[in-house]
Amino acid sequence: MVAWDDRAATSPPLLVFWALALAAALGLGERLEPSFATVDAERRTRMAIFLGSLLLCILIVCVTVAAIRPSPGLLRFLVSTFSGCFLPVLALVRLTPHPRAALAHGFSLSTLAALEGGSTAAWAILSSFVLAALFVGVDHHARLLSAGRVDPRHQGGIALTRSVAVVLPVALGLAAFLAFAGRPRDPDPAAGPEARMRSDPKLEQAALRATIVAAIVGTGAVYVVGRLLIRRSRTGEAERLQPVEPLRGEVRRLSPPIGQPATVPVHAGRRGRIARAYLRLLAGAARAGFARHPHETPHEFAFALGQPQAALEAVTEQFVRARYGPLEPSEEDAEGAERQAEIVLDHFRRRRPTPRPAAVVEVDRTPGKGPTSS
Amino acid sequence: METGSPYRGFLLAVAVVVGLLGFVVGAPALLGFSLAWAVLLATTFVAARRNLRGLEVLRRIPVSAFENELVTVDVFLENHGRRAARLVAVSDVFGAGLADRQAVLEVGPLPPQHGRPLAYRAFVARQWGVYTVGPLAVWAWDPLGLWHAAREVTLIQPFEVYPRVVEVASLRGFGAHSAVAPRDMTEAAAGQSLLFRGVREFRAGDDVRRVHWPATAQRGVPMVREAERDVQPLFTLFVDLSRQGRAGIGKKSSLELLVRAGASLLWTAHRCGVASQVVGEGERSLLIPVGRGELHLAAALHSLITARQTGTTPFLELVNAHRSHLPPGSTAILLVVATTELDPGQLGPTLEALRAGGVRPLLFAIDAFSLPPVERPPVPAATARIHRRELQAKLSELQVPVAILDPAEDLLAELQRPDLFAP
């Protein structure tokens, strides 16, 4: 109204009247929520769709007519009418679970104002963007906390802070864009509305064609997107999580996971060489399907493995002495252990070790099947 | 708790339409408006995924529960990231409950390198059987709630639901047998327990250390102390899983009644501290050796709920095969499905043989004559009534406690009757 009606721009009481009327309509809308809750959900949806379609038609007509610049009187009438339509939209805000109609109408009014251009357009666009984005953020927090059975009383500030943190950078960018890229529609700010109406008829026709095409394409796009959204909601509803009574414990610092393998001790010198040779042997046996059991000692493992006996016994003996003995092994001991370990590994490559006998045998009495082991 | 945003599609449409309009009309304000929404949508998309980084979940759940119990499932949310986590939801699928997915909301802030234990209670609403719990998922949203990100943790654990059980009031006085190891229970017979029974004269073979000197001095002949005998109550549950006993479907099937009755019997034994074992022959051998305690009960109940009535060995043959392994003094409970396939003539000798071995038999017969048979042609009602009367007459001739469980009655209420074995 401020953009398109000069009287509104210079009449603060008119603006105050409209602001109070909108507030009253919103209050009435909130009051009507219990009444709407008694109406069948499907009937409410049909009513909302009908009213939404009606509003959309009015919007398209208003935008189209506004774009081709009718006479000031007609334009004022259209703007006032569309602004007035906001009152029933706000009064019926609780007809649907989410106030998208109110958002859409607000965006429509901002769009109409933006067609005027200049500072009014920038202000309308920026404020509607910021307010709508903050509303979406706070509404999300409220819905999530309510669904999660959490008391939302102390979360309002946090919801607003988090929303502002995301919206503010984009809003600043938008403001900068509007400041540097926006141009007033009329180069002569002193000219009145009548002067603005004088334009080239050819340009007017071109603008009219472009606007009608844009309106048709836009309506088609909205229709297609709407159908897609409805179809998706029918075939696979957006996943709903069933919130349960939450039980929360105290926050605690994470400790290293239990069972994490301890760091392998590094033995320096010849003891380390013999230990690493033995570990390579164990790794090779595991790859060949004969892993050492945790409870097995080196000698028990060598006995269970069996072959090659001589090399196994030698490397096992060297490992035990190097790992647990008091004396430092000699260079020959280290080289011998490494050599014997390679012999064993080479034996595994040529012939896999015999698997261990099963400890537990399950008897399957199905005819034709023998006992299975594990 | 809706995971999707009710405004996302709307804002996407607004961005497109207003952008088109601004482009055609040449209004930079509209173009900027459209661009701002597009940038905001993109920013929040990235933010939703970023909020999910570093979050891990673990779950700890009991392995089993009874029907209609409330189970507490512990969930651990850990933040291994570098940012504090806010408004994160952990969802889980509790297969034994009716809800699709259950979610717990963590409001935060959960500082980095910290974790919080959460928990939810789930009602075991489904019938006995084996279900799964999982997968776990952690959900995060951007601050405006336009996008959500979720990560699923394939942590699926089995969860067993056991049938509701009651104490079988009339099942008292379990047969007991001498125990080698000391037990809490004793009986008024000579034995090795710590409970003093009396003194008697010394007999060859008595331990000299048991001589009661004051009594010896008084009587003038050697007297020894005598203690009561340690006994171990033991009952063996034979379950009829033979294919011939299959009848009925669903909640009115012979398997359903067998499992519920068997579970209550095992529960009663557990509550009385009695050792028990289970024998059956279904698809596989059902053999739970003698034991006591919760783990043993869990193993026995697990074997019941996973059993199938597809055995090929007739029930009485199974009882006779295991009869020799039953220690004298113990109790044998035969949980049998009474159908036209059950031969009353063979039942008597089996029960007599058990008694001859010193085993006390109890018979629980499920009256399946009224249930539609499976894999057999239906039996005329008159024939079924004749068979029922014959069986009842035969059972009444045997001097064995018999309980006939009628599928039309409430099974648990029947089991709780104190006069269950009354003729």
Question: Going residue by residue through chain A (374 aa), what tens digit of pLDDT does each one get?
Answer: 666 666 655 567 877 887 888 888 888 888 887 777 777 777 777 777 777 777 777 666 666 666 665 566 666 676 777 777 778 878 877 777 777 777 887 887 787 777 766 777 788 888 889 999 998 998 898 888 888 877 777 778 888 888 999 999 999 998 888 888 755 444 444 444 444 444 555 555 666 666 666 666 666 766 676 666 666 555 554 556 666 665 666 666 666 555 555 555 566 788 889 999 999 999 999 888 888 888 889 999 998 888 888 899 999 999 999 988 888 889 999 999 999 999 999 988 888 888 776 555 455 555 554 444 44
HEC assignment per residue over B311-322: ECCCHHHHHHHH
* Boundary of a domain, candidates B112, B143, B162: B162
Interface A-B, measured as beta-carbon pairs within 8 A, has a size of 235
Min CA distance, A154 vs chain B (Å)? 11
- Dihedral sign from CA coordinates of B183, B184, B190, B194: positive
- Say if residues B235 and B269 touch (Cβ distance below 8 Å): yes
Give a yes or no: residue B98 inside a domain.
yes
**pLDDT > 90 in chain B, percent:** 26
Nearest CA in chain B to A165: B143
β A247-248/B114-123 pair status: antiparallel
- Identify whether residues B362 and B388 lie together within a single domain: yes
Query: Smallest Cα–Cα separation from B187: which of B176, B198, B174?
Result: B176
Residues of A in contact with B44 (CB under 8 A): 166
pLDDT (average), residues B243-259: 86
Q: Name chain B contacts of A121, Cβ cutoff 8 Å.
A: 27, 29
Cβ–Cβ of B110/A251 closer than 8 Å?
A: yes
Q: How many CB atoms lie within 10 A of CB B34?
A: 21
Is A122's Cβ below 8 Å from some Cβ in B? yes
Q: Assign B52 to helix, strand or coil.
A: helix
Domain boundary among the residues B112, B146, B162 is at B162
Lowest mean pLDDT of A76-80, A289-293, B284-288, B402-406, name the range.
A76-80
Closest C-alpha among B157, B280, B231, B10 to residue A48: B10
Tokens of B290: 């003698």
Cβ B240 vs Cβ B278: under 8 Å? no
User: Rounded to whole angstroms, how far apart are CA atoms A315 and A298?
Assistant: 10
B95 φ/ψ angles, rounded to the nearest 5 degrees: -60, -25
Both tokens of B101, joined, read 């997915």
Same domain, B39 and B133: no
Helix (H, G, I), strand (E, B) or coil at B167: coil
Q: Which residues contact A170 (CB under 8 A, 6 or more apart)?
A: A129, A133, B36, B39, B40, B43
Please give the C-alpha separations between residue B111 and each of A253, B77, B86, B118, B124, in angstroms, as whole numbers.
9, 11, 9, 15, 34
CATH number of the domain to which B371 belongs:
3.40.50.410
Q: Which amino acid is at B120?
A: Y
**What is d(CA A191, CA A178) in angstroms, rounded to the nearest whole number?**
23
Question: How far is Cα A241 from Cα A144, in angstroms, rounded to an integer?
Answer: 11
What are the residues facing A361 on neighbouring strands? Answer: A373
Write the burial class of residue B226 (CB in 10 Å: 0-12 exposed, 13-18 middle, 19+ buried): middle
Pick from A90-99, B32-41, B356-365: least confident: A90-99
d(CA B271, CA B294): 10
**Is B123 within 8 Å of chain A by CB?**
no
- Please name the residue that has the structure tokens 């034709």: A368
Where are the extended beta strands (E) located within B94-185?
102-106, 114-123, 129-133, 136-141, 148-153, 157-162, 176-178
Of B33, B118, B143, the CB nearest to A125: B33
**pLDDT confidence of B37, banded at 50, 70, 90?**
very high
Instruction: Name which of A117, A218, A239 is nearest B3 (Cβ-Cβ).
Output: A239
Residue with tokens 């079988």: B168
Closest CA to A208 of A108, A60, A74, A67: A67
Q: Are B381 and B352 in contact (CB under 8 A)?
A: no
**What share of chain B in percent tops pLDDT 70?**
91
Q: Find the helix packing angle between A12-31 and A72-91, rounded to 10°.
A: 30
- The pair of three-digit structure tokens given for residue B110, joined into one six-digit string: 């959960």
Where does the pLDDT of residue B43 fall: very low under 50, low under 70, confident under 90, or very high at 90 and above?
very high
B387: helix, strand or coil: helix
For residues B264 and B396, state if they share a domain: yes
Last residue of a domain, one of B162, B182, B216: B162
Task: Please report whether residue B173 resides in a domain.
Answer: no
Residue A241 in tokens: 């999580």
Q: Decide: residue B319, CB within 10 A, 0-12 exposed, 13-18 middle, 19+ buried.
A: buried
| A225/B37 Cα distance (integer angstroms) | 17
Looking at the structure, tell me whether residues B281 and B366 fall in a common domain.
yes
Q: Are strands B285-291 and B114-123 parallel, antiparallel or unpaired?
A: unpaired
Instruction: Give B 275-334 residues with CB within 8 A of chain A.
Output: 284-285
SS3 B339: coil
Name residues whose C-beta falls within 8 Å of residue A241's C-beta, 6 or more positions apart in sequence. A147, B1, B3, B89, B91, B101, B102, B103, B139
Q: With CB atoms and an 8 Å threshold, state whether B30 touches A207.
A: no
State whether residue B210 sits within 8 Å of chain A by CB. Answer: no
- Domain housing B138: 55-162
Average pLDDT over residues B219-230: 81
Give residues with Cβ within 8 angstroms of B207, minimum separation 6.
B224
Whether the link from the prior residue into B109 is cis, omega within 30° of 0, is yes
A213/A234 Cα distance (integer angstroms): 31
Both B90 and B31 in a single domain? Answer: no
Q: What is the pLDDT at residue A195?
A: 47
CB neighbours of B214 closer than 8 A, spacing ≥ 6? none
Shared domain check, B115 and B37 = no
Residue B403 lies in a domain: yes
CA distance A305 to A289: 11
Task: Based on the fold, state whether residues B114 and B152 are members of the same structural domain.
Answer: yes
Query: What CATH code is carried by the domain that includes residue B79?
Result: 2.60.40.10
Contact map slice: A 201-240 vs B, CB within 8 A: 207, 210-211, 213-215, 217-218, 221-222, 225-226, 229, 238-240
Q: pLDDT value at position B50?
A: 92
In a shared domain, residues B254 and B383: yes
The 3-state secondary structure of chain A, one letter per residue: CCCCCHHHHCCHHHHHHHHHHHHHHHHHHHHCHHHHHCCCHHHHHHHHHHHHHHHHHHHHHHHHHHHCCCCHHHHHHHHHHHHHHHHHHHHCHHHCCCCHHHHHHHHHHHHHHHHHEHHHHHHHHHHHHHHHHHHHHHHHHHHHHHHCCCCHHHCHHHHHHHHHHHHHHHHHHHHHHHHHHCCECCCCCCCCHHHHHCCCHHHHHHHHHHHHHHHHHHHHHHHHHHHHHHHHHHHCCCCECEECCCEECCCEECCCCCCCCCCCCCCCHHHHHHHHHHHHHHHHHHHCCCCCCCCCCHHHHHHHHCCCHHHHHHHHHHHHHHHHCCCCCCHHHHHHHHHHHHHHHHHHHHCCCCCCCCCCEECCCCCCCCCEEC
Confidence of residue B227 (pLDDT cuts 50, 70, 90): confident
B88 in any annotated domain: yes
Q: How confident is the model at residue B280 (pLDDT cuts 50, 70, 90)?
A: very high
Q: How many domains does chain B have?
A: 3
pLDDT tens column, B173-221? 555 555 555 555 666 666 666 667 788 888 888 888 888 899 999 989 9
Would you say residue B217 lies in a domain? no
Query: Would you say how long chain A is, in residues?
Result: 374
Say if B342 falls within a structural domain.
Answer: yes
**Phi–psi pair at B363, nearest 5 degrees:** -120, 125
Half-sphere exposure of A181 (CA within 13 A, CB side): 16
Whether residue B20 sits in one domain with residue B63 = no
B110 and B13 share a domain?
no
**Is B38 in CB contact (< 8 Å) with chain A?**
no
Is the same domain home to B309 and B403? Answer: yes
Give me the interface pTM, i.e. the ipTM. 0.70
The Cα–Cα gap between B301 and B144 comes to: 50
Kindly report the nearest CA distance between residue A253 and chain B, in angstroms.
Answer: 4
Return d(Cα A245, Cα A232) in angstroms, integer.
Answer: 30
Positive or negative torsion for Cα A32, A35, A41, A44: negative
Decide if B297 contacts B264 (C-beta within 8 A): no
What per-residue confidence (pLDDT) applies to B402?
A: 84
Alpha-carbon distances, residue A10 vs A86, A189, A231 (angstroms):
22, 15, 48
| Nearest to A200, CA basis, from A317, A303, A69, A93 | A69
In a domain, B210, yes or no: no
Give the DSSP letter of residue B94: B
Looking at the structure, do residues B369 and B391 belong to the same domain, yes or no?
yes
Mutation for A interface: B25, B31, B281, most A CBs within 10 A: B25
Name the β-bridge partners of B252.
B249
Q: What is the pTM of this model?
A: 0.66
**pLDDT given for residue A12 in this prediction:** 76
Question: Could you tell me if B116 and B64 are in contact, meaning their C-beta atoms sit under 8 angstroms apart?
Answer: no
Structure tokens, A297: 């000692």
Cα distance between residue A136 and residue B8, in whole Å: 10
